[in-house]
Amino acid sequence: MKNLRHQSLEAIEDLLKEWGEPKFRAAQIWDWLWKKNAGSIGEMSNLPKALRERLGTEFGITKVVIHHSQFSSDGTIKNRLQLHDGHFIESVLIPTEKRVTVCVSSQVGCSLSCKFCATGYLPRLRNLEFDEIVDEVTMAQEQALQHYGRPITNIVYMGMGEPLLNYKNVLRSIERITSSDGMGMSPRRITVSTSGIAKMIRQLGDDGIRFKLALSLHAATDEKRSEIMPINETNDLTMLKDALNYFYQKTGNEITFEYILFRDFNDSLTDADALVKFCRQVPADLVNIIEYNPIEAADYEKPEENSVSAFMQYLESKRVNARLRRSRGRDIDAACGQLANVNHESAP
């Protein structure tokens, strides 16, 4: 049975024309799919029963469902989500005074094997479909209204998986989220984070995307970055610098660097100086300095507070726009790098 949400509006119009149905029925179906987030064809109450039954013989709607949720003492909510084929992913809803951000996954597992990231120790089982990513956002929207009394304001593709290795589905999900006949969210409130796929960063530039881009940098020398991020062996800092400059020339869009501090690995003033030098080669708007959140599989540790302070002061002295980002949801393993699906099951 085909997934009705994978059909374009034009395809639905053509099908209904073939069936002898009026064209406006397609708009009604589309509204149910992307405005009302229908979970089944049976919910489409303004369609004639005969049409619903006929649609139901050829199409279905596969929805992501919440398997269970965990609630942090700081208000963060982590959702374990079950896909139609039995796989699991995780998403995180993060409230602050000014924002409500949802962090979404783009793959079941990950193939990049970053040494500090819990997801990196899982196998990549498959890419998410675009509508599954949209479901992550719409469910987060419902939770935000229920628990915080306000809607989500920002979306970050920083959950499980590498978004640029699921390029088409990620872009199509953003098209649905930002469309006037979808959620209507501004692309300026969406950030896609990548571990650094130079070829696909250039593709983003060629495609003229309007959302923000974040690079998970974490070390500003090839030697250290390759040690913790194997992707750097084939996408080194020179390649990434050139790709990011190409992206910026094409789009003018905001670029952010993400830099996790690890004790006695990348938290010295020498490391800070290397970061400053890299920043001067790329028009980055911001460097997010992130506290490391330990995981059982890795030996890295959180840095000392005095090292963090010295690192931040050095960046400030060199006029680098840096912000220290304190982790949220650490008590429920929802913080940066902790999404692991420890109890994940594979599809039968």
Secondary structure element (H or E) that encloses residue 226, with its range: helix 222-228
Integer Cα distance of 300 and 211 in angstroms: 32
Integer Cα distance of 321 and 110 in angstroms: 30
DSSP state of 303: P
Integer Cα distance of 336 and 333 in angstroms: 9
Contact 48, 20 (CB under 8 A): no
Active-site entry in 13, 21, 90, 162: 90
Q: Is 336 a catalytic residue?
A: yes
**Angle (nearest 5°) at CA 107 between 101 and 113:** 105
Contact 89, 341 (CB under 8 A): yes
**Straight-line distance from the first to the last Cα atom of the chain, in angstroms, rounded to the nearest whole number:** 19
Active-site entry in 114, 117, 279, 336: 336
Contact 257, 276 (CB under 8 A): no
Q: What is the dihedral of CA 166, 79, 301, 96, to 10 degrees?
A: 100
Express the helix, strand and coil content of the chain in percent, nearest 5 each.
Answer: 40, 20, 40
Report which of 90, 93, 91 is spatially closest to residue 122, judged by C-alpha positions.
90
Beta strands 107-108 and 77-82, pairing class: unpaired
Q: Is 103 a catalytic residue?
A: no
Rounded to whole angstroms, what are the CA distances from 54 to 23, 42, 47, 57? 16, 11, 11, 5
Q: Which residues contact 305 (CB under 8 A, 6 or more apart)?
A: none
Half-sphere exposure of 297 (CA within 13 A, CB side): 15
Residue numbers annotated as active site: 90, 336
